[in-house]
């Protein structure tokens, strides 16, 4: 009998597995330390952690508040600028320019009394200079157009200008 | 004559009144904005106080932990 040829399939070569050898640790004796009040310790650590997280949440809220505040500041600034434009640009333009003082009622009464006295004096035959109507001097103050380097300087100049005008009024 | 009241003719009287009305409106808006800023500032102050309290609490707790770790029962 002829031998039947049998062919064996070669089994796939096994991959060599290289075991990683962990570096040897130097064996230290493991000592333990017993802490006092372990429950309290755990509790305190956890509570501290919780409070730190609450702190961080508060920080986010704080930032949002600050952003809102900055936005409101810019709104306020624009409002004040508009007010300045309205008062200085428009309203002031309608008002007369000059050093005119307001007359109070008491001053008016005094002036009338004074005039009456003068009229009585005129009855006496004396040479008296006729009261000449005084011309009201209107000093037109030229508006100084500031061309300063910054808004702050301009505002400072305007402030000085207004203070001078107020002093003149007093 | 020297102290007589002075009358000033305002040609655009209505316009002046409108400007004054506008100024008043802007003033009200500014006051509201400022009030809101004040509220926010109070909120910030409150938050800062809370942070201060929280930090003091955490410090106290960490002191306790530190104390416990530094003075163990058995060493």
Among A147, A149, A141, residue whose Cα is nearest residue A169: A141
pLDDT tens by residue, A29-77: 777 778 778 888 888 889 999 999 888 888 888 999 999 999 999 999 9
Chain A residues with CB under 8 Å of B10 CB are: 94
Contact check, Cβ <8 Å, B40/A80: no
Cβ atoms of B49 and A62 within 8 Å: the answer is no
CA dist., res. B55 & res. A51, Å (int): 8
B34 in reach of chain A (CB within 8 A): yes
Place of tokens 């009464």: A109
CA distance A97 to chain B (A): 11
Chain A residues with CB under 8 Å of B15 CB are: 94
pLDDT tens by residue, B39-59: 999 999 999 999 999 999 999
Contact check, Cβ <8 Å, A86/B23: yes
* CB within 8 Å of B3: residues ≥ 6 apart: A103, A107, A108, A111
Chain A residues with CB under 8 Å of B65 CB are: 41, 44-45, 48
Chain B residues with CB under 8 Å of A107 CB are: 3
Question: pTM of the entire structure?
Answer: 0.55
Residue of higher predicted confidence among B42 and A132: B42
CA dist., res. B41 & res. B15, Å (int): 38
B16 in reach of chain A (CB within 8 A): yes
Position B37 confidence tier, pLDDT thresholds 50, 70, 90: very high
What is the b/e burial string over A65-93, where b = at least 16 CB atoms within 10 angstroms of the residue's CB? Answer: beeebeebeebbeebeebbeebeeebbee
- In the stretch 39-68 of chain B, residues with CB closer than 8 A to chain A read 40-41, 43-44, 47, 50-51, 54-55, 57-58, 61-62, 64-65, 68
Among A134, A48, A79, A118, residue whose Cα is nearest residue B32: A79
Chain B residues with CB under 8 Å of A116 CB are: none
Position A123 confidence tier, pLDDT thresholds 50, 70, 90: low
Shortest CA distance from A80: residue in chain B: B30
CA distance A122 to chain B (A): 16
Of B5, B55, B73, the CB nearest to A34: B73
Computed over its alpha carbons, how large is the radius of gyration of chain B? 32
Distance from the Cα of residue B66 to its chain's centroid: 40
Cβ atoms of A82 and B26 within 8 Å: the answer is yes
Cβ atoms of A79 and B30 within 8 Å: the answer is yes
Mean pLDDT over A136-164 rounds to 63
pLDDT at B10 over 70: no
* CB within 8 Å of A131: residues ≥ 6 apart: A118, B1
pLDDT at A142 over 70: no
Cβ atoms of B2 and A115 within 8 Å: the answer is no
Chain B residues with CB under 8 Å of A36 CB are: 68, 71-73
């Amino acid at each position: 009998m002829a031998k039947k040829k049998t062919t064996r399939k070669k089994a796939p070569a096994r991959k060599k597995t290289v075991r990683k050898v962990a570096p040897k640790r130097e064996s230290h004796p493991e000592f333990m330390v017993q802490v006092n009040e372990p429950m309290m310790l755990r509790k305190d650590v956890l509570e501290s952690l919780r409070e730190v997280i609450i702190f961080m949440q508060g920080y986010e809220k704080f930032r949002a508040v600050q952003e809102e505040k900055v936005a409101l500041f810019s709104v306020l600034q624009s409002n004040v600028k508009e007010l300045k434009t309205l008062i200085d640009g428009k309203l002031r333009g309608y008002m007369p320019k000059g050093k005119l003082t307001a007359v109070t009622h008491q001053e008016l009464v005094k002036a009338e009394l004074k005039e009456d006295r003068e009229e009585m004096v005129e009855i006496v035959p004396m040479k008296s200079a006729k009261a000449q109507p005084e011309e009201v001097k209107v000093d037109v103050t030229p508006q100084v157009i500031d061309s300063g380097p910054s808004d702050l300087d301009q505002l400072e100049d305007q402030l000085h200008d207004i203070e001078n005008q107020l002093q003149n009024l007093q | 004559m020297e102290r007589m009241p002075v009358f000033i003719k305002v040609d655009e009287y209505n316009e002046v009144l409108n400007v004054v009305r506008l100024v008043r409106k802007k003033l009200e808006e500014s006051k509201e904005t400022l009030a809101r800023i004040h509220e926010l500032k109070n909120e910030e102050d409150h938050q800062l106080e809370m942070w201060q309290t929280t930090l003091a609490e955490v410090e106290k707790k960490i002191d306790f932990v530190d104390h416990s770790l530094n003075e163990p029962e058995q060493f």
